[in-house]
Structure 1
């Protein structure tokens, strides 16, 4: 996720880092070259004049703008839902930790706090790695030890397995301390919420926007940008390349942003900062347990928070 300090209106015009411009320069160069060709040939291909005017592009552009808005809204809805799920994860982790420390007799002992916090934090990191399809081994060994990490690595659904272990820890605490069934029900509700977060994230990760939408939008945008120079050349002449590149920048950039935002758990610059979110949850849980708290993750030189 790109995190930049506030910019004034003039500097915002020239922002490079954090924009999608650097990823679409080849497409814009192609449109610019095609526009220059249209100017030099006066809108002809192989000597034949292409009979296009600005009128159909106005109607076609309006329809394309509506379709782009639909595609961006669908992508952003996935992004917002994913952010809400990770916000719920933070709330449930804090609440569950506080409840165990205060509602369970002897729940604030050093050993119990260490076991519980390690499992809960491991759950967060393992979920992050599952969503990003990255290797969780280093985080699992750091939090659970090599033997437990090896056993967990054999599981297909690692976050669910850790939730099951957390339930086992709470059942063992009830057996040892004799806290009430009502307390167990209260604690289990937070585990249920954590399970809902896992299911919601898996639903987003495993159900992309239908591919046909992406193909249709991609073809339509590029067909519009390729034909546009031949429709404008008679009226705009030498200004055709400038206008066409600007219009192409708007349309192609919107498509690129929609593609990035549609995968909120990915590693694209505009995806969610899962590393920072996981670190925030770890810091919060450890602080409640009165353990040493790691440093907060901050954006790097490229203003990207991973």
Structure 2
């Protein structure tokens, strides 16, 4: 995720970063420029179509459809941002829940019980990092511990870690280290771990419906490809940059929506989940005095 000062207008205007839509769309912008210039040349120089041509009336259709396509893109970007924001809420919940869990464990365990303190510290931290790797589609070795949890490649690692945490809580209850009431108190924090994981999986694994995504792309394509037929009569060759700019605006909105609808990746606009995991590691360690 890019950290920035929203008040620096001129910096934004002249800054081009790796994920900028201009770079992604450059080949299509060049191709579209050639296409519009060819249409203008054929209408003005070859066929010499004048103001009496019926093609100039196609601009009426573009005016009507422009409102429709704007509504579609607004809905598209709002839906994508809602997914991005829900992902941020879920990771905020995981951070707060890890702190609360650590605070309760710290109060319930004696200061000399370093074994159990270390276990819960390691498991809470590793759960966050394992969830991050799970959402990004891989389960490499832990970035935090040398050999904390060894599981099979196809095992759901966050679930495995949650299972180990609850097994240890149950062991503390059976050993009468904690009471039944205290176990129920900790269970509320434990339950949130899997709820956050499930919500993040829902965001990642449920993209926008295929038909809707295809329709928007086709709509933008045919809308832009027919623009020069009517606007060449009133704009001449100036229609080339105008049509290219219209396409850039419409396509950029779709590209931005595609990028942020899965906020757990490594794109510039994705959530800084690695930094959130490190914050959890720092705060849980401080609470448990490790």
Decide: shared fold, TM above 0.5.
Answer: yes
Which residue, 123, 127, 144 being the options, matches 1:123? 127
CA apart distance, 1:65: 0.6
Specify the alignment match of 1:16 in structure 2. 16
Return the offset for 1:171.
Answer: 2.0
Q: Which runs of 5+ in 2 are unaligned?
A: none
Alignment deviations for residues 77-118 of structure 1 (CA, whole Å, 9 cap, x no partner):
11111111111101100000011001x132663222211111
CA RMSD of aligned residues (A): 2.3
**Retained in 1: the 8 A contact 2:126–2:142?**
no
Q: Counterpart of 2:167?
A: 168
> SS of 1:183's equivalent?
helix
What residue in structure 2 maps to residue 94 of structure 1?
A: 99
Any conservation in 1 of the 2:227–2:243 contact (CA below 8 Å)?
A: yes
Q: 2:183 is matched with which residue?
A: 184
1:7 Cα deviation (Å)? 4.8
Asked if 2 retains the 8 angstrom alpha-carbon contact of 1:121 and 1:282, the reply is yes
Conserved? CA contact 1:76–1:258, under 8 Å: yes
CA contact (8 A) 1:94 1:284 kept: yes
Q: CA deviation at 1:20?
A: 2.1
State whether structure 2 residue 32 is matched by structure 1 residue 31.
yes
Aligned to 1:249: 248
1:43 and 1:230 in contact (8 A); partners too: no
What is the CA deviation profile of residues 220-263 of structure 1, one whole-angstrom value per residue up to 9, with x for unaligned ones?
A: 11111111122211111132112112111110000100111111
Q: Report how far residue 39 of structure 1 moved.
A: 2.5
Could you tell me how far apart the structure 2 residues matched to 1:50 and 1:202 are?
53
* 1:166–1:236 Cα change, 3 Å: same
Please give the alpha-carbon distance, in whole angstroms, between the structure 1 residues aligned to 2:13 and 2:42: 33
Q: CA deviation at 1:214?
A: 0.9
Q: Which residue of 2 aligns with 1:301?
A: none
CA contact (8 A) 1:57 1:231 kept: no
Q: How does the TM-score come out when normalised to structure 2?
A: 0.90
CA–CA separation in structure 2 for the residues paired with 1:217 and 1:4: 31
For these two proteins, the number of residue pairs brought into alignment is 285
2:40–2:232: 8 Å Cα contact kept in structure 1?
yes
Q: 1:154 to 1:263 in 2, by over 3 A?
A: closer
The 8 Å contact of residues 98 and 280 in structure 2, kept in 1 or not, is answered as yes
Deviation at 1:8, TM superposition (A): 3.0
- Encode CA deviations 1:191-236: one digit per residue, 9 max, x unaligned: 0111110111111222111111110001111111111122211111
Deviation at 1:267, TM superposition (A): 2.5
1:300 maps to none
Which residue of structure 2 aligns with residue 277 of structure 1? 276
- C-alpha contact (below 8 Å) 1:43/1:50 kept by paired residues: no
Inter-CA distance 287–20: structure 2 relative to 1 (3 Å threshold): farther
Superposed counterparts of 1:42-57, under 5 Å: 42=43, 51-52=55-56, 53-57=58-62
1:203 aligns with 202
| Rounded Cα–Cα distance in structure 2 between residues aligned with 1:161 and 1:138 | 14
Q: CA deviation at 1:155?
A: 5.4
The alpha-carbon deviation at position 2 of structure 1 amounts to 2.1
> 8 Å contact 2:129–2:142 — kept in the other structure?
no
Q: Confirm or deny that 1:106 pairs with 2:110.
A: yes
CA distance in 1 between counterparts of 2:286 and 2:45 reads 70
